[in-house]
Amino acid sequence: MNKNIAVYPGSFDPPTNGHLDLIERGSKIFDELVVAILRNLDKDPLFSVSERVAMLEALTANYSNVRVDTFDGLTVDYAAKMGASSVLRGIRALSDYEYELQMALMNRKLRPELETVFMMPAEKYSYLSSRLVREVAQLGGSVKGLVPELVEQNLRGKLDPAYKLAEFRAPQAEKSESRKSRPRKKA
Ligand code: PNS
């Protein structure tokens, strides 16, 4: 029997608990789920594609039927290449609907045999987006409970303004000590 394969495409910059919630739901209804990160050269992402792959691989390691990949070009072409019959997307609120409907219908026009399957993440993540997580973290707010701990740590390593402020205020000796233990900021 043919495997029921779905592609879950997105930017995942960074992956949130909402994405993870959807991956878990998707892993239950599809035989195989491919989490596919768009390699978009136009965007200026916070995390590089390889950083996002590493995070998603670690976060989905417990699901035997989930794997992580990257793609460019059209989602429908990538889905066909992977032998997928469905594209999985999350809908959080009514505001997502118009954009998702447009995308699903365009994808249907391009490849009618590919179905878009919408799933709703848990209510507690219904306001959550990668963009808001980036903004809150960049401005020093807490994203605890909104992203997995691994993502929180990586965000802290990249951005933590409170950390930088504390370091600025710290006496010289502490400063050099803290620098040793501090994760290196990526270029
Ligand atoms: O997480 P995002 O940024 O909402 O994901 C958007 C994504 C990657 C699903 C969408 O931009 C996409 O499918 N891009 C690939 C190019 C493509 O197929 N464009 C036509 C879509 S109708």
Per the annotation, the verdict on 131 as an active-site residue is: no
Strand order through the sheet with 86-90 = 66-71, 32-38, 5-10, 86-90, 115-119
Question: What domains are there in the chain, each with its CATH number?
Answer: 5-128 (3.40.50.620)
11 pocket-lining for ligand 1 (C-beta < 6 Å): yes
Quick check: is 81 catalytic?
no
Determine the pLDDT at residue 160: 64
Amino acid 151: pLDDT: 97
Say what the pLDDT of residue 170 is: 52
Give the residue among 130, 140, 135 at the shortest CA–CA distance from 20. 130
How far away, in angstroms, is 62 Cα from ligand 1 center?
Answer: 26
Distance of CA 100 from the midpoint of ligand 1 (Å): 10
User: Nearest CA to 159 among 181, 129, 134?
Assistant: 134
Question: Is residue 187 pLDDT above 50, yes or no?
Answer: no
Please state the atom number of ligand 1 nearest to the C-alpha of residue 77: 18
Residue 51 CA, chain-centre distance (Å), reads 11
Buried b (16+ CB within 10 A) or exposed e, 54-71: ebbeebbeeeeebebeeb
The model carries a pTM of: 0.86
**Taking residues 159-184, what's their average pLDDT?**
48
Mutate to test the pocket of ligand 1, among 19, 69, 103, 109 (most ligand atoms within 8 A of CB): 103
Determine the distance from the C-alpha atom of residue 185 to the mean position of all C-alpha atoms in its chain, rounded to a whole number: 20
> What's the whole-number mean pLDDT along residues 147-166?
79
Please, what is the average pLDDT of the chain? 88
Model confidence pLDDT, tens digit, residues 70-113: 999 999 999 999 999 999 999 998 889 999 999 999 999 999 99
Among 157, 83, 92, which residue's Cα sits nearest to residue 124?
92
Nearest residue (CA) to ligand 1, atom 6: 10
**133 CA distance to ligand 1 centroid (A)?**
19
Q: What pLDDT score does 145 carry?
A: 95
